[in-house]
Amino acid sequence: MVEHIVCFKFKPETTEEQVQELIRRLKALKDEIPTVVDLTAGKTFTPERGQGFTAALVVRFNDRAGLDYYQPHPKHMAVKEYIGQICDSVLAIDYEF
């Protein structure tokens, strides 16, 4: 199994509506990309611990090939474009277990 974890730090001018729209778009990927086994996304309820990162995404794949399929998928690329508009920084980590 492969876990893909992404943390988001939003631009100061990003609105709560934009944050919620990102979370909605991220969650939709679960049904739009067939290699996604499981996906969760949300805002932190402990912002003081996140070093400015206040939302996260966790995606599970069966293997690296699933992640490799996901990365360039058009639906994922569209969400990445939106992320670029509203985020200052993104931190991603992938690991196998």
Asked whether residue 58 is domain-assigned, the answer is no
Per-residue pLDDT band for 63 (boundaries 50, 70, 90) equals: very high
Asked whether residue 97 is domain-assigned, the answer is yes
> Domain total for the chain?
1
- Decide if pLDDT at 72 tops 90: yes
pLDDT of res. 47: 87
Q: What is the three-class DSSP state of 79?
A: helix
C-alpha neighbours within 13 Å on the C-beta side of residue 65: 2
Question: Is the model's pTM score more than 0.85?
Answer: yes
Report the percent of the chain where pLDDT is more than 70: 100
Asked whether residue 80 is domain-assigned, the answer is yes
Mean pLDDT of 69-74: 98
**C-beta separation of 25 from 55 below 8 A:** no
Q: Which position has the token pair 């699933």?
A: 66
Closest CA to 56 of 30, 93, 31: 93
Asked whether residue 2 is domain-assigned, the answer is no
Domain that holds residue 41: 14-47+64-97
